[in-house]
Structure 1
């Protein structure tokens, strides 16, 4: 014989289950705009049925259902899409940093323009051409000096900007390293908390969402692979373990430097280290090679001429620029010789002498051969060897051709970085859209579910009322006939 209270129990289970489903739907709606949130659903199953009690098998047909119950509150998440997102996100982070660095390098070069390095150099060569027209004119010589100072100032300023950019990249590397270390510790803490909560039989859905969001953020900074184990996420960067269970490896700059570029081979941190060690250093080396070649060529030619000094024998021209003593700092330290800045008469424009009636050798002050030779340096091809310390983009070209080659290379690299960023954004957005189609909250769908659960809740409540009225009739009305 079945219990008279069985219907009440079935109705109660229905009310509690539909109430849980309504609460979960409300939780989804409240977090519709929460970053990293995955929608949750209540997994409902039919309660285990019972058979009528009897000494042997009951002759009553079938089993009596016991209503509904929910076994878990499950979050909807696709691990495959998470891995795809991490793979595309690391490349987006890398190329975004590279693009930003290259665009800043383009701004430092400032070519083509009317105020860039090329124009300053043209003014310098043209000043020698003008001096050849009036070799003994002090005002024209002053123009040569000022043009030379403009050249050294331009190189010094470009070198300073490169050093500043390098410092900014190093600062950003420190920031990213700290961010990675903090994120790894947070993930390890969440691993421990999730293990504790789920070990008690509860669902740690919101904690798992927080952990996945941290992994998403981490995947943009460094390349990571994630494997879920019994103790939580096992996170690796290449062959290096970063998080295993509740233990996080200390991530500092020495770890990052040691891992680059074998294990650390993508992400924003890789992009920063690559940009600083490749783009900035390469352009600095190109600049230093150009300065070294200019200083050597101008000084060698200048020494072949004579100054305006009225001495016997005539005074040969000395160094026009201070010689380069350290290739690595050539652009940053180049300057016009103090002999030139102190007295423009020391500029050697003439290459001829004569002997006067007294047998004294004197300079032909109106001669312009050395000034023309210096002006012609502009059109002379040189080997920019980079002192053997770096790859030089062009050998056997003029200074103008060399500068054009450098500008062209950075322009091509910038275009490639922009193309890569554009492509990666599309890929990341596509994968994220697919993730959202699986895990995201649809307000329309949640509203429809809430109405469905509400009707089920009301029906269960109505069923409870019906069983209550039936029991009331049995308890309070039966057996009263004849009283």
Structure 2
């Protein structure tokens, strides 16, 4: 027969087990709002039983139980849902960046508005139209010059803002690379601590939660691959090893850009940043540059009216005009190189008449871009350098400009309605032939469509992330109602174990203090 003291050990084990359950429940309640925390549960198991002493245990029906033990305290976590969350999270990070980039571009272009390029270009054409009505009016010339300067400044300022945006995105790559290194260092340290603790057969539940929370953050930044090995998480991205056991491998911005180029880095915030800088922003800057260069030097077809006199040596459509052939006897359709090409066909109000020069130029020389787009300095200094006439007559000192002739000014104003030829490579909007207004509207239309699509993708991915996270929380999250229910159950179990302990104590008291005293 087992000793009466056996009941004390059984009751003690029960008390300890129920207390472990209550402590774990209290830990869950305390961390109900802690980000990344996973609900923990206590696993109980019957402790090793005792065999009744005696030859072949003939008087015992079987082994005698010794109570209960805590088998484990583990967190409730579904790794499949974690993987789903990380996959959805990286797509969300990508589209968030792209949507933000496109939104900033919309702010930079600021269309439609009174300060946008559409209005500035429209004012430039209107100035030429008004100038054609009174070509000898100095005020009209100044208005053309001022509107040309305003248009050039608008191109310059828009280009600067877009270029600054590219620089900001480059800085974003550097910042994100540093942040990745910080996070991977933390993962490596947690790998070490988890291995040390679990080497003693304990579960490092809270440390594992911290590590997974860091992976949640990393997954938003890049398409990280996480594999759990004996030494902890191995983390890679695009062929780059970031964490192996307790060692973190620093990554550089150059390595990340190389991974992007090889399609190893294909989602996440970093992917979105590089794609925005090298794709989205670059495309719109290229299109802005193409617009500026085409206005100045792009091929455009015009019809020069009969009676116009071309400057000596002018070459149009492969024909050289000189001597008597300078004077056109019929309306002639030719292709000129933008406003510059047309302006050089006109004459200045000088005596004798001089052929005009370029209307637009490039700051510092080289091809005209939105950043270098400028008005010819000669025109800036003297608005009389703006040509308006295509007709001259013989004078005592040579050719003299026909007073009041507005042929060139009228043709310049009509360029608004003329189709220019745009570079197909730079024109990512599908427009290769069209008016300046058509081209710019296509650019803005493309921006609007891309922005709406990015926002739609962002919303869809946010919904997916929220759904997966909701499923994760249903598995791993703390329900206060459930914890209170467990607490009540554990409290009653603890009370019952205490009552059992009291009963055993009373039995022992009876044996020790009341038995064997008959006759005293």
2:391 equivalent among 327, 352, 355: 352
CA-to-aligned-CA distance 1:118-138 (integer Å, 9 cap, x gap): 111111111111111111110
- Structure 1 residue matching 2:374: 3-state secondary structure: coil
Give TM-score, length-normalised by structure 2. 0.90
CA-to-aligned-CA distance 1:369-399 (integer Å, 9 cap, x gap): 111111121111122116x667464101111
1:319 and 2:358 correspond: yes
RMSD (Å), alpha carbons: 1.4
Query: Is the contact between residue 40 and residue 76 of structure 1 (CA under 8 Å) also seen in structure 2?
Result: yes
CA distance in 1, matches of 2:236, 2:85: 16
Q: Which residue of 2 aligns with 1:274?
A: 275
Query: Is the contact between residue 321 and residue 334 of structure 1 (CA under 8 Å) also seen in structure 2?
Result: yes
- Which of 50-59 and 346-355 deviates more? 50-59
* TM-fit CA distance, 1:238: 3.4
* TM-fit CA distance, 1:241: 2.2
* TM-fit CA distance, 1:323: 4.3
CA distance in 1, matches of 2:11, 2:398: 127
CA distance in 2, matches of 1:113, 1:465: 85
Q: Which residue of 1 aligns with 2:23?
A: 23
CA-to-aligned-CA distance 1:159-206 (integer Å, 9 cap, x gap): 011012112211221111111111111101101110000001222000
Q: Which residue of 1 aligns with 2:125?
A: 125
Q: Which residue of 2 aligns with 1:305?
A: 346
1:143-158 matched pairs, under 5 angstroms:
143-158=143-158
- Structure 1 residue matching 2:370: 3-state secondary structure: helix
Q: 1:347 to 1:143 in 2, by over 3 A?
A: same
1:180 and 2:141 correspond: no
Q: Which residue of 1 aligns with 2:476?
A: 439
CA-to-aligned-CA distance 1:460-479 (integer Å, 9 cap, x gap): 11111110111111122211
Query: Is the contact between residue 286 and residue 393 of structure 1 (CA under 8 Å) also seen in structure 2?
Result: no
CA distance in 1, matches of 2:34, 2:187: 19
1:168-247 matched pairs, under 5 angstroms:
168-247=168-247
Q: 1:359 to 1:204 in 2, by over 3 A?
A: closer
Q: 1:258 to 1:216 in 2, by over 3 A?
A: same
- Structure 2 residue matching 1:331: 3-state secondary structure: coil
Q: Which residue of 2 aligns with 1:283?
A: 284
* TM-fit CA distance, 1:213: 0.2
Q: Which residue of 1 aligns with 2:516?
A: 479
- Which of 242-251 and 19-28 deviates more? 242-251
Q: Which residue of 1 aligns with 2:113?
A: 113
- Structure 2 residue matching 1:64: 3-state secondary structure: coil
1:89-104 matched pairs, under 5 angstroms:
89-104=89-104
**More strand, by proportion:** 2
CA distance in 2, matches of 1:383, 1:239: 44
* TM-fit CA distance, 1:68: 1.1
Query: Is the contact between residue 22 and residue 491 of structure 2 (CA under 8 Å) also seen in structure 1?
Result: yes
- Structure 1 residue matching 2:293: 3-state secondary structure: helix
* TM-fit CA distance, 1:403: 0.3
* TM-fit CA distance, 1:359: 6.2
CA-to-aligned-CA distance 1:391-439 (integer Å, 9 cap, x gap): 4641011111100110111111111101101101110000000000000
2:412 equivalent among 369, 374, 378: 374
CA-to-aligned-CA distance 1:266-316 (integer Å, 9 cap, x gap): 00011000001111100000000111111111111110001112x22x111
- Which of 281-290 and 174-183 deviates more? 174-183
1:35-46 matched pairs, under 5 angstroms:
35-46=35-46
* TM-fit CA distance, 1:368: 0.5
- Structure 2 residue matching 1:322: 3-state secondary structure: strand
1:415 equivalent among 448, 452, 456: 452
Query: Is the contact between residue 295 and residue 323 of structure 1 (CA under 8 Å) also seen in structure 2?
Result: no
- Structure 2 residue matching 1:251: 3-state secondary structure: coil
Query: Is the contact between residue 385 and residue 392 of structure 1 (CA under 8 Å) also seen in structure 2?
Result: no
CA-to-aligned-CA distance 1:425-457 (integer Å, 9 cap, x gap): 110000000000000000111111111111111
* TM-fit CA distance, 1:252: 1.5
- Structure 1 residue matching 2:178: 3-state secondary structure: helix
Give TM-score, length-normalised by structure 1. 0.96
Q: 1:326 to 1:70 in 2, by over 3 A?
A: farther
